[in-house]
Structure 1
Amino acid sequence: LEEKTRTEPPLHKEMKSFARRLKTGYRLHMSLAKLIYDSSHNADLLYITGFDCHDAFLFLEDKKQKIIFMSDLEIDRAKANAKVDKVHSWSEVAKTLPATKRNVANIIAAILAERKIKHISMHPKTPFALVDALRKLKLKVEAGSSPFYPERVQKTEKEKQHILKSQQAVFKAIRHAENILKQSKISNGKIIFNGKALTSEFLRTQIAQKLLELGCASPFPAIVACGKQACDPHEIGHGVLKAHQSIIVDVFPRSISSHFYGDATRTFCKGRAPDALQALYTTVKSAQEMAIKEIKAGKNGTQIHQNIQKLFTVKGYGTEKKHGRMQGFFHGTGHSIGLELHEEPARINTSDYTLKKGNVLSVEPGLYYPDIGGVRIEDLVFVTQSGCEVLGKYPKKLEIL
């Protein structure tokens, strides 16, 4: 019998073709000169240069040589502190151009022309206006891949220690907040501290001051949200804190010296917690413990996330939109963290990501029901080959009596 030729389904061919293009594009990105024009708010630029600068500067990586071009204001500091091969003057390049041509695109084009570079890979967060201007100057500009420096995804031992130090500061700040709650009294359902009603704003300010004492500052305000406010996970909280209700305290500062973030959440209740809130807390705590036990290199983050969803469902805690708002568990279990609070691509959620040794991730399941309250518990873990290491320690206890 004549053997029939097997044909692949069109979708399989399309996927293979896409994979080949992706791989080819990645190799091209790695071989091209890399360029970033930004301030050190760009974590990739901070990572590769080790230089903290609030004004934009140019970084060029070509033939394994790292070069930066700095303004007169920053050049001496850059020469002393930047971890690059060469530091050049941006101003000197600008002076070679007519005064009417001294814009960012023309200066970059002049720098590249001097080095006979016509094809570059630019950081994916580069404003389109700059990319467009460079292309109009006959430069071939490719969008760089994300992450621009893939090695950032897996933290070194030194980087892990930086994150741990930030996390220890987080726990000291949470301890300070908890101590204020311990010293407070209850009157007519309100929490009273030093004779005044305790507010989210006051406690948040106390947390911020403690973090500054510890060498950390947060670009974003800490979350101190009570009761129904705590059921909106990113609500920072406002107004008087109430007794016998959940109070979510989520603190996520950045070290002023290392620039690495910490991130942890604890949920408290001043006074006796209602049975429904205590049960909610116990369930979330069990889910977090289960997730931490499952985390290891090679494990798919989606599976861990789905296991938490299943546990919540089995315990009777469904997720749905009710009375116009989401209830239940409606956010990811965890995100990567480092020089950014939320880093790509490592995730423990519905995205398909296989955990790698050296990932540092949050583990933060939560349940939110306006008629009960919100509960979230969060820690950071460092992924190892056989499991994970929890970074820092802090008790997990709901009631403050």
Structure 2
Amino acid sequence: MIRLLYGSTKDSDVQYIVQQELHIPTFLIDRGDTKQLFLDSREYGVIADGNKDKTLELIKLEPFIEQARKVTAVSSTAALAEVLFTEFKLMDEEVVVGNALPLDVADHLRAKGATLLPTADLYPERQQKTAAELDFMRSAMVRTQKAFTYIEQVLRDSTIDGAKIMYQGNVLTSEFLKWEVQLLLLREGLSLDDGLVISSASQASMPHHSGEGELKANETIICDIFPRDRATGYWADMTRTYVKGTPSSEARQMYETVIAAQEAVFGVIKPGVTPDEIHAATLGTFEAAGYDFSQDWITHRTGHSIGLDIHEAPSIETGVDTPLKEGHVFTVEPGLYHPEYGGVRIEDIVVVTGHGYENLTNYEKTLVST
């Protein structure tokens, strides 16, 4: 199989192969036993110094750019692709390409006679993480947990004034905590490329509301933090739900049910289980507790796979029947939401092991912050 990649290491497949930070989008030809990465001279030296893959050949791009200037009426990227396909004898081969290849490039190559086989999954082996990848993810999770320790300390040090939470003489807001968390994680080598969630009260009843304004006393506060390790590219993802003050009976029941759903999921994780079966454990717990999702209650899938992308396949939800294997890493994040009672979500990351699972999120779960 011959694969063609295009992009910088913002593309997770390129990151998977190069394992270094590559800023300028470029082409990579992967023949399996050998790979050829075409580099702008501005990045060639840096990548060469850090390259540890003996099968990865680094080639300076400038001579091919000169040839591509002779190709007219198409984009410079399409022209360069034509030159590389010709020079490296790919026109007569079947070449597998991913979603990152620009459409105009694909159209031009096909017009020139190339056979391109599109796929959404260039490297299916990425789904099962190696020991080294798991170490990267454990490290990212340990550092992410420091953000939750900080949030909990702020809540403990805060006071309540009516519906407001007061911290160091000011009303505690979502924006304040988000800013402080971002600074903390940057110092830990983690970046919040896709944002984060710190929402309370009615905002917390909407699973993807990132949160804004004052955080409310005696209401649920969802903190969902998902940073990327700037050095390795691997993501962490963790959620905890808190109440500063006294939770309502409904909020406490929601919390206990979400914890029970997560435990039910943990009980079924093993090699061979399907995402559909995992999600059924979540839904079964919610239904047994009396939650009716035909009314105002909201829930969502149990989780998603994670690695060099924050959301990877397979998704942990109804209808996904791919048997999980040892090394699959995914989130377990059951949630319950209601416009009157707010929301509760608890999220850990787990990896399937030979006999069950390992929880990569070694952190306590406590609703009330006193």
Task: Please give the TM-score of this superposition, normalised by the length of structure 2.
Answer: 0.94
Contact 1:154 1:356 in 2 (8 A): yes
Matched, 1:374 2:343: yes
The SS at the match of 1:73 is helix
Query: Are 2:259 and 1:297 equivalent residues in the alignment?
Result: no
| 1:310-389 alignment, distance < 5 Å | 310-320=284-294, 322=296, 327-329=297-299, 331-389=300-358
In structure 2, the CA distance between the partners of 1:67 and 1:241, relative to structure 1 (3 Å rule), is same
Structure 1 residue aligned with 2:174, among 164, 186, 200?
Answer: 200
Q: Which moved more, 1:95-104 or 1:190-199?
A: 95-104
Provide the C-alpha distance between the structure 2 equivalents of 1:391 and 1:125, rounded to a whole number of angstroms: 30
1:141 to 85, 97, 116: 116
Opposite residue 56 of structure 1, the aligned amino acid is P
1:57 paired to 2:26: yes
Gapped regions of structure 1 (runs ≥ 5) = 1-30
Aligned to 1:237: 211
8 A Cα contact 2:205 2:341, kept in partner? no
Instruction: Judge conservation of contact 1:333–1:349 (CA < 8 Å) in 2.
Output: no
1:117 corresponding residue in structure 2: 90
Contact 2:144–2:185 under 8 Å retained in 1? yes
Instruction: Confirm whether residue 106 of structure 1 aligns to residue 56 of structure 2.
Output: no
Residues 2-401 of structure 1: pairs in structure 2 closer than 5 A? 31=1, 33-62=2-31, 64-82=33-51, 83=53, 84-99=55-70, 101=72, 103-118=76-91, 119=93, 120-143=95-118, 145-320=119-294, 322=296, 327-329=297-299, 331-401=300-370
- Three-state SS of the structure 2 residue aligned to 1:163 is helix
Q: Which moved more, 1:355-364 or 1:121-130?
A: 121-130
Contact 2:324 2:352 in 1 (8 A): yes
TM-aligned CA deviation for residue 328 of structure 1: 2.7
Q: What letter corresponds to residue 300 of structure 1 in structure 2? A: T
- RMSD value, Cα: 1.6
Contact 1:227–1:246 under 8 Å retained in 2 = yes
Provide the C-alpha distance between the structure 1 equivalents of 2:163 and 2:19, rounded to a whole number of angstroms.
Answer: 50
Q: Which runs of 5+ in 2 are unaligned?
A: none
Q: How far, CA to CA, are the matches of 1:222 and 1:178 in structure 2?
A: 16
Aligned-residue offset at 1:213:
1.5
- String of CA shifts for 1:332-351, please: whole Å, max 9, x gaps: 10111111101123534432
Q: Output the CA distance in 2 between the equivalents of 1:178 and 1:348.
A: 31
Bigger-Rg structure (1/2): 1
Percent identity (aligned): 32
Q: Is the 8 A contact 2:260 2:285 kept in 1?
A: no
Q: Report the alpha carbon displacement of residue 63 of structure 1 after superposing the two structures with TM.
A: 5.9
**CA distance in 1: counterparts of 2:84 and 2:102, whole angstroms:** 19
* CA deviation vs aligned residue, 1:69-115 (integer Å, no higher than 9, x gap): 11121111122224352111111112234456482222222222122
Distance 1:62 1:223 in 2: 41
- Counterpart CA distance in 2 for 1:142 and 1:210 is 44
> May I ask how many residue pairs the two structures share in their alignment?
364
Please state how far the C-alpha of 1:392 moved relative to its aligned partner.
2.9
CA displacement at 1:67 relative to structure 2: 0.5
Give distance in 1, aligned partners of 2:149 and 2:254: 22
Task: Describe the shift of the 1:256–1:98 C-alpha distance in structure 2 as closer, same or farther (beyond 3 A).
Answer: closer
CA distance in 2, matches of 1:302, 1:238: 34
Q: 1:321: Cα distance to partner?
A: 5.3
Distance 1:213 1:356, change over 3 A: same
Flag the 1:98–1:396 CA change in 2: closer, same or farther, 3 A.
Answer: closer
| Amino acid in the other structure paired with 1:372 | Y
Indicate conservation of the 8 Å contact 1:346/1:359, yes or no: no
SS at match of 2:64: helix
Q: Quick one: distance in 2 between partners of 1:293 and 1:180?
A: 34
CA contact (8 A) 1:332 1:350 kept: no
